[in-house]
Structure 1
Amino acid sequence: MSSAISLDGPRSEPANGEAPEKLVILLHGLGADGNDLIALAPLFSQILPEAAFVAPNAPEACDMAPSGYQWFSLQEREPQALHKGAEAARTSLDAFIDQELERHGLEEKDLVVVAFSQGTMIALYTCLRRPNACAGIVGFSGLLIDNGRLDEEIRSRPPIMLIHGEEDPVVPFECMDAAEKTLSACGVPVQTHARPELEHGIDQDGLVMAAGFLQAVFDKELEQG
């Protein structure tokens, strides 16, 4: 793997004013930055007042927009190019996840990842290859980068919720079903939700679903603990 690039971005401390007991990492899409998703922190804080939030800027300047960042280039979208880009980017995201867990004295079971578009791509690619499963992943409007070797490379199987607009002109809606089939075949617990009439974005109903999922995965952890 390539050398890690240090990541950072906007943060939001726990709503209860205490030391974090949970961590939510928010991963933005192509051409955006951490400010794009840190705005979700107040919503999720209502159900996770004990959680800290961080939305790192991706490691590269976007090569398809005058500002913003990218996890890797999408100039070429063939599977091999996507795999190569994601493999390079996951080094930095892996290091960032490790750093943030250590910063707060937390473990993977205390972490959820919420991602949009290209952020979903890198979240799925990275987290499934980490040795320990996080508590859960919510992916909006993304796709699973499938190099045909996920069943060999997968190391953890966190529960996943995928949400996708049926009218998405950027990342085809069909990518959600393709991801579900591949993930399920690899033993990953996955649920999917189609959003009628939604294009490439996140709507209120999707956010409500995501919030419910985050609450459920942490409640399950408490039951097991």
Structure 2
Amino acid sequence: MNTLHTSPDFALSFRVFQPEPAQPTALVVLLHGVGGSETNLADMAAAISAQAPGTLVVLPRGPLALGPGQFAWFRVAFTPQGPRIEAAEADNSRLALTRFVEQLQLAHGIAPQRTVVAGFSQGGIMSASLGLTAPERLAGFGILSGRILPELEPQLAEPAQLAAVQAFVGHGELDSKLPVVWAERSDKWLTALGVRHQTRLYPIDHGISAAMQADFLAWLNSCIDSSLR
């Protein structure tokens, strides 16, 4: 992992997983959860880099600082009635993430059809928010122990655009932070929207198991390879 990049040329601060390919053929952006940092998904970045050495793996930092080494894409309160989000912050982060992905694509000459964005928990929420509102920027998105925000509905892309993007949903059946019903809702919503997707459930709490990561990596490889056909 290299040093943190902070530049006016990019909408978010970020790190690039090393070794960085000289001429990347694909782009994967991995997003951390609330209270985490861009280094949280370094192990997954390493696995992606090993599987596909030509892939540029980028780990951005959420724009909101919650404390030392703790960042978020938006603030959220977990209540008995379910998560309550700061919707304006979520939307601002969605727009920043959309710009950031486009900036990376332009800087490295990588087509949207060779780009995947995925994340854990709140990072998965942001991945879905980008993929469902700007599907033309991606080949696919991954929701790992996350959900799709109901607040997103007025901003969804047209069905014809959504038909071109793919998704992966992985979730723990024992998730105590975001219960598995959120994965079930995501699955139903993606089906209704016509988004091609896989949904996989695992006997774990809130997290990413080895099996979830393996299934995601297999989907990722297929998603990027399908852009060549």
Give the TM-score range, shorter chain. 0.7 to 0.9
| Secondary structure of 2:194 counterpart | coil
For residue 82 of structure 1, report the CA deviation from its aligned partner: 5.2
For residue 88 of structure 1, report the CA deviation from its aligned partner: 2.0
Q: In 2, distance between residues paired with 1:107 and 1:79? A: 35
Tell me if 1:139 matches 2:143: yes
Aligned in 2, Cα 1:79/1:37: closer, same or farther, shift over 3 Å? Answer: closer
Name the structure 2 match of 1:184.
191
Structure having the larger proportion of residues in strand: 2
Q: In 2, distance between residues paired with 1:148 and 1:38? A: 29
Q: In 1, distance between residues paired with 2:47 and 2:156? A: 34
CA contact 2:128–2:148 (8 Å) conserved in 1: yes
For residue 84 of structure 1, report the CA deviation from its aligned partner: 3.4
CA contact 1:14–1:53 (8 Å) conserved in 2: no
Name the structure 2 match of 1:74.
76
Deviates more, 1:20-29 or 1:135-144: 135-144
Tell me if 1:154 matches 2:157: yes
CA contact 2:24–2:54 (8 Å) conserved in 1: yes
- Normalised by the size of structure 1, how large is the TM-score? 0.87
**What count of residue pairs does the alignment treat as equivalent?**
215
Tell me if 1:7 matches 2:9: no
Name the structure 2 match of 1:205.
211
Superimposed CA distance per residue, residues 48-67 of structure 1 (whole angstroms, 9 cap, x where no aligned partner): 111011110001112xx554
For residue 171 of structure 1, report the CA deviation from its aligned partner: 0.8
- Normalised by the size of structure 2, how large is the TM-score? 0.85
Superimposed CA distance per residue, residues 162-220 of structure 1 (whole angstroms, 9 cap, x where no aligned partner): 00011111111110010111111111112100001x11110111111011001111221
Tell me if 1:220 matches 2:226: yes
Q: In 1, distance between residues paired with 2:119 and 2:68? A: 22
Aligned in 2, Cα 1:148/1:102: closer, same or farther, shift over 3 Å? Answer: closer
Identical-residue share of aligned pairs (%): 28
Superimposed CA distance per residue, residues 76-122 of structure 1 (whole angstroms, 9 cap, x where no aligned partner): 77788454332121121111111111111111111011210000111
Tell me if 1:103 matches 2:118: no
Superimposed CA distance per residue, residues 127-182 of structure 1 (whole angstroms, 9 cap, x where no aligned partner): 211151511112110011013735x6224421101000111111111100101111
Tell me if 1:32 matches 2:36: yes
Which of 79, 83, 90 is the aligned partner of 2:94? Answer: 90
Q: In 1, distance between residues paired with 2:63 and 2:208? A: 23
Question: AA paired with 2:224?
Answer: F
Q: In 1, distance between residues paired with 2:226 and 2:47? A: 21
For residue 47 of structure 1, report the CA deviation from its aligned partner: 2.1
| Secondary structure of 2:76 counterpart | coil
| Secondary structure of 2:150 counterpart | coil
